[in-house]
Structure 1
């Protein structure tokens, strides 16, 4: 799994920020505006569904499963698509019942929250594609750099793999993980091109994640 996942994540890091900003402004912004309810459902349904699936998978005896410990992630892949389809099916009925058929117009008219197509939410999605590969790559190297004798010693003393991960591996790799997070945050601060293109060249930021704020030309006297 590591041979396939790590090169794929590192390829994401090679994408130029101009391309990410271009895609965020011209493709992702209209998509988010059209499927806003679907994305908000994904934020709640996807983590909950994955945790429930992991909890239920522990109830099945290992001898009755065809997946070993190293490839138990395989059933999670179709589960992600099933949860995404479930959110897509529920999006329109929830909008019809709770938000008068359009979630975007509802929050504007009823809650007074202005929605601009190029907003901070779109910037957050695009910034994640730029920052996550850096954090993932350094963190993965730090975790696999933990000496094997520490892991083997913990397992030999009777600790479970999860207890070994939480009590031995993560504390040992925590300085490098902290450095990875700080490097990722530093890159996020410096990614001006994504912010410039995904927010429509705005000068003043707001706490409203759905608004792109006032254009710079309107702030001039």
Structure 2
């Protein structure tokens, strides 16, 4: 009887283990049909795809900035003088040098008196730079586009205004040429406004 009871216990245990195995297999089959597999046993998800057109696009900071191209500058003499009331000196830089523009347009720079007050400067785009600065076309162009020129020029205040030998007036003309008109001499021709002269470099846009 004792041996028979042991046999019965073993049979029950084997049967129970078989039932557990069958149940596990059934759940696996059910998961296969429903697609609800355990997250730990599934293969890693594929990385998210990038939006169309994004993978090859450089950032805005990496986009090269367009540069202007200028040839070697030509050098010419220039001068402006104090004028009588209502008169001005005008310079059209596009019409100077060995390569004047086919259409030089309007004067790009003037100095004088629109009335009987002190002389003043006017330019299409112009800025006064200190000695030894804005020596190349691009830096002079930037100074002209962002700068200002003195107005109400008084002979007694040329140093305070920066109108000293070595300083220069940077100009961008209406034909996009760049001019660096360096001041070599400042002459107080009258009690009010000085005369200026020097040498100018003209860069032509290629």
TM-score by length of 2: 0.19
More helix by share: 1
Higher RCO (CA 8 Å, separation ≥ 6 residues): 1
Bigger-Rg structure (1/2): 2
Answer 1 or 2: which has greater strand percent: 2
